[in-house]
Structure 1
Amino acid sequence: RRCAMLTSAALLIGALHVVAGGRQARAPLGGFWQRSAGHSRGLEFRGGGSEQDRVDAECAENEREHESECASTDYFTFASATAAVEALAAVEALAVEFDSADLSGTNVSLPDFAEALPRRVARTRAALFPRDECAHVVEAAERHFAARGGGWTSLSSGRFSIAGDWIKNIPEVHAWFDEQLEKKLLPILHGLFPDFGHVEDLVVHSAYLFKYTPEQGERTDIHTDSGCLSFTIALNPSNEYEGGGTWFEDLDVEENSNLVGSEGQMLMDCGHVAFRPGGVRHQGFRVSRGHRYVIGGFIMHKGKTEHVRRFMGRSTSLAQQGRHADAETVLRRTLALNPTFDGAYTLLADCLTKQGNEAEAKDVLRQLVKLNPKHAEGLYSLAVLEKQGGNSEAALRLYDQLLGIDPYDSEAYFNMGEIYGAQGDPRREITMYEQCLRCNPNKDRRAKAYGNMGVAFGDLGQFDQECEMYRRAIELEPNMLSAWYSYGAALATKGRYEEAIEKFKHILAHISPSDMRTYQAMYRASMLLQKRRQEEQRAEEAGEETW
């Protein structure tokens, strides 16, 4: 972004730009299903053989991976049909009741086995686990992390890091979890989704214990889970935190007021459990106060390989290796298998963009938002490409459409602010950055929003507000060169040369720009202002006018 500066100084050093902040293309790799990418050996696609031969080879690879993961699970699974029948009878005697919601109001299908997995979410009407039992699990986790030192570890969820760990790594919690898989969780899953298979065929792909805190910041990306089925266990009372909860795409708020809060997030108190297919799109809301403890479990079927999900994981692995053409090939095969699963489209568009084919990437994203008009990631990615292609009005319309789905997307507000700034509309620009900040984005984006707001206030001639924004940016990011520079430039325009020189010298002394031209610019700016100050002092002593 442009920065205000004395005309004479600008001639020497030009205008530095505030770093835009935010990603230029939202990473489309969100969701816990990514984990399967780590197991892929990555097939080679170059060479002979028919297309069907290559597809058959990949499917065989999927089946080998699936068989290996099921055989090596770290969690309880029924060893015999007899034991499973006994567990089913015990759970039936519990007479667990559920509140459920239909999620089928869309043209989009689940990635795999859509015919056997109805799109719905079911939450226990009463607590499945007693409050003291949940408290024991939380205390065991806290003791585990206190004993190992260094506090809670972090797990990646799309763009975000959440405090937590694999349940298999927390011995006391692992033992409790295995017991509950046998006595309650797996039998209940079978009862809710009986067409998916026998209970003894269910096996845990992965399981996590999360600790959501205000420090996480924003809501998670809208994503899908790994595994065909998923469940979530709430481990602490809702009066211990504010915020939190899970939003599900296509969950009607008015029809399900007994299940959801005012913003559409599913409400769960201590000991409640929610069950659903892993392929339904959902989003975790931020916790604004306190801590929220949750267990997430992700389930596979021993005899059913999730080919679409594994193709997705393989394409992600290839893209991360820079093999975008090979990743594109796998994604096109994925769409041939299931053209109504929307998850493959954003990945394919990203691969095409990386290969310089933005026009086709936009076509793919348009197909996606036609299939699923609520697909926030698709709308965002298409808006970014329109913005980069100079079609700002189209980008603004897409961001508006996105914010109608997710009104807390800080990146969308930030990018709209950039567009309005480029259009010379500082008032709208400021409004967008204020909305971005309302979403509680990460520290880096907050700092950049404040920095750009400073420039916009400068354009409006509001010097005090301009300087306040730079101070806030620097408070968040003490080494933010552009904020120091813009602050110094603003002070210089008001003749506050001593203060301006201090800002430029601070850059030279503490930030040390790696770009030599930038370093030289800072030095020249300091020297120019010192020279001007000296000339003005001499002119005042001689009674002459200053230049």
Structure 2
Amino acid sequence: MTISRLSSLKLLTALTFTSWGLTIIISLATPAAGSTGSSTVPVPPFLRYLTESDLNAARQLAKDRHEQAVKDALTNFPIDDIPCSPEDDQATVANTPVKEHPVTLSSKLPDFHDELPSSIFESLKPLLTREECAHVIQMADEHFGGNEWTALPAGEYKMRGFKLKDVPAIREFIVEVFRKRFIPIVQHTNPKFAASIADLALDNCYLMKFTPATGARMDIHCDDGCLSFTIQMNPREEYVGGGTWFEGLADARGDTDNHAAGIVKMDVGHVHFRAGAIRHCGFTITEGKRYVIGGFGIHRSKTEHVRLLMRGNTDDEMQLSLPAVVALNPEYDEGYAMLAHDWDVRQGRADDAKEVLEYCLEHVNPKCSKVAFSLGVRHYRREGKHDKVMDCMKIVLQYDPYDVLAMAAMADAASEVGDVAVEKEMYERIVQVAGVSPERKANAYRDLGLLHKGRDLQVEIDCYQKAVEAHDNYHARYSLGRALFQAGELEKARESFLAAYSQDDTSVGALKAIYRTAKTILEKDASLSDSDDLAKAQRMIELVGGEENHSKIQSMMANPFGTLPLPQ
């Protein structure tokens, strides 16, 4: 993007919120091509400084990105090279019936809200045969030569997978599948969006592997694509759990158990597809492996102004792009979260960012999880308003009862206000979440142990032991050693303190604990009562873990280790 196209940025950076009354108010009565249509939510007051020139510059940036994306799509996945007659396409539609699952969206889609149906479409017959799916997985394993698949970022959770365009044999296969078997049914179910099969292209495509250890689930998210699809690549009997959870699916069905009724499960070879901005997540598996292909379709001529302005921005571009995201579609809640994050983190405008988030919850979507989380942890916690932090985390956990980051934030806020019951409940929920990171699980068990400190020593010890089992680390080991010492289990306490010190050999506290425990053991050892000082000194060296630790303790004796000197 050229500097000339962003000439209006000087105006954007110079204006502050105190100058709203002097700026132009933008009307959305005539939306841009590709926008979601007329909005019932006005342009927020904090964006009324934007001019039509600013929005035109943003639209042009999105158009440029769209044109490049289409070129890349047709290069990476050359579907036009696959011959297919209209009769073949009609036969595909006739032979691939689909079931429509309506969803109730809490926010408008970023683009084409009036053209893309608010539904999940699920094939009632397999798109791929069982043998084809198994062959694709085999080709993937051969590509990695028996090694673990590459890691893909997935928020709080780990996952494994790769882009199909990077494996020629699989790419060739998916290009043919997409053109011959998939596009016809997508166009048939979305005629308002795509008037013909030639309108669509394959933007990107991944093969992903979920296991309890490396991808039990994903964070709830929107896809970086206009149309999204998921193909189940292995039989349901090979894993326990799984499926795809969709926002608003349970609401549309009138079910109060949001996460039990909001999951679509498919058998091998079946596909479901929908607008990419319908929030969803790959749901938890507890046993086995689950393989899925996930891909994104793109319209060749319709520009997704909002989505394309949300990604890949330079600092200069963000000055215009992110405000334009909200101005072009004031009813799309995630645009507010991105704008607030930029204003807070990159520009240091914390008060302005807070106003953006509060406006979204009040006027756009009072149940927006991403906005509520950001508002709670980045603003209310910073201000010491812990009761408001808890209110925000309640919104998040009503939306996603498995969000461990929200549980941790809720526990932290509950601790600050002295609500032990809620704090304890959050830690107990964290350790039960399938796929939670070992580090977070260990921290929760340690915090549970601290809550039992002075109340139930054995429960406290049990919690610390579980923390060590989940993720062996300094804090868990030190806490376990302290509790074991209090219980009189001196040898186990000594071992735990030594383990803690081995993980952080700069810890004065661990070194003191090792010495005090060793000294207590030495004092209680009746067999050494008549021994000479040399024997006692040698035993002390053994108890503190060797000569090196003994020397460190000797050099620190000027510090208040206790009343007894080290034996010489």
Q: In the alignment, what sits opposite 1:136?
A: 135
Q: 2:328 aligns with which of 337, 342, 363?
A: 337
Secondary structure of 1:314's match?
coil
Change (3 A) 1:497 1:273: closer
Q: 1:523 aligns with which of 502, 511, 514?
A: 511
CA contact (8 A) 1:261 1:267 kept: no
Change (3 A) 1:150 1:137: closer
Question: CA offsets per residue over residues 457-509 of structure 1, 9 Å max, x none?
Answer: 1142x11221222222223332x222222223323444555554544444334
* Residue-pair matches, total: 484
Question: CA offsets per residue over residues 100-119 of structure 1, 9 Å max, x none?
Answer: 0222x345221112222122
5+ residue gaps, structure 2 = 13-50, 530-562
Q: In the alignment, what sits opposite 1:442?
A: 437
| Residue identity in the other structure for 2:234 | N
Q: In the alignment, what sits opposite 2:163?
A: 166
Q: 1:463 aligns with which of 457, 470, 473?
A: 457
CA contact (8 A) 1:228 1:299 kept: yes
Q: In the alignment, what sits opposite 1:193?
A: 190
Q: In the alignment, what sits opposite 1:98?
A: 98
Q: In the alignment, what sits opposite 2:115?
A: 116
1:78 and 2:80 matched: yes
User: Offset of 1:55 from its aligned partner?
Assistant: 4.3
Question: Matches of 1:41 and 1:499 in 2, distance apart?
Answer: 67
Change (3 A) 1:63 1:55: same
* Aligned pairs (5 A) from 1:345-424: 345-354=336-345, 355-370=347-362, 371-384=364-377, 385-424=379-418
| Residue identity in the other structure for 2:508 | Q
* Higher RCO (CA-CA < 8 Å; seq separation 6+): 1
1:429 and 2:423 matched: yes
Secondary structure of 1:333's match?
helix
Q: In the alignment, what sits opposite 1:210?
A: 208
User: Offset of 1:133 from its aligned partner?
Assistant: 2.8
CA contact (8 A) 1:430 1:456 kept: yes
Question: Matches of 1:334 and 1:503 in 2, distance apart?
Answer: 54
| Residue identity in the other structure for 2:355 | D
Change (3 A) 1:164 1:53: same
Change (3 A) 1:390 1:43: farther
Q: In the alignment, what sits opposite 1:278?
A: 276
1:156 and 2:153 matched: yes
TM-score, length basis structure 1? 0.79
Question: Matches of 1:233 and 1:392 in 2, distance apart?
Answer: 43
| Residue identity in the other structure for 1:285 | F
* Aligned pairs (5 A) from 1:39-50: none
TM-score, length basis structure 2? 0.76
Q: In the alignment, what sits opposite 2:27?
A: none
Change (3 A) 1:99 1:253: farther
The structure that has the greater radius of gyration is: 2
User: Offset of 1:531 from its aligned partner?
Assistant: 5.9
Secondary structure of 1:195's match?
coil
Answer with 383-392 or 242-251: which moved more.
383-392
Q: In the alignment, what sits opposite 2:68?
A: 68
Q: In the alignment, what sits opposite 2:222?
A: 224
Secondary structure of 1:173's match?
helix
User: Offset of 1:170 from its aligned partner?
Assistant: 2.7
Answer with 50-59 or 412-421: which moved more.
50-59
Q: In the alignment, what sits opposite 1:307?
A: 305
CA contact (8 A) 1:205 1:226 kept: no
5+ residue gaps, structure 1 = 1-38, 514-518
| Residue identity in the other structure for 1:238 | R
Change (3 A) 1:430 1:158: closer
CA contact (8 A) 2:105 2:118 kept: no
Change (3 A) 1:132 1:52: same
Question: Matches of 2:60 and 2:395 in 1, distance apart?
Answer: 41
Question: CA offsets per residue over residues 389-446 of structure 1, 9 Å max, x none?
Answer: 2222222233233222222222222333333334445454333211111112111100
Q: In the alignment, what sits opposite 1:451?
A: 446
RMSD: 3.4
Question: CA offsets per residue over residues 80-118 of structure 1, 9 Å max, x none?
Answer: 9x95635433324x3422210222x34522111222212
Question: Matches of 1:40 and 1:224 in 2, distance apart?
Answer: 30
User: Offset of 1:328 from its aligned partner?
Assistant: 5.3
CA contact (8 A) 1:219 1:408 kept: no
Question: Matches of 2:486 and 2:294 in 1, distance apart?
Answer: 56
Identity of matched residues, %: 32
Change (3 A) 1:450 1:217: farther
| Residue identity in the other structure for 2:136 | V
Secondary structure of 1:72's match?
helix
| Residue identity in the other structure for 2:371 | G
Answer with 338-347 or 361-370: which moved more.
361-370
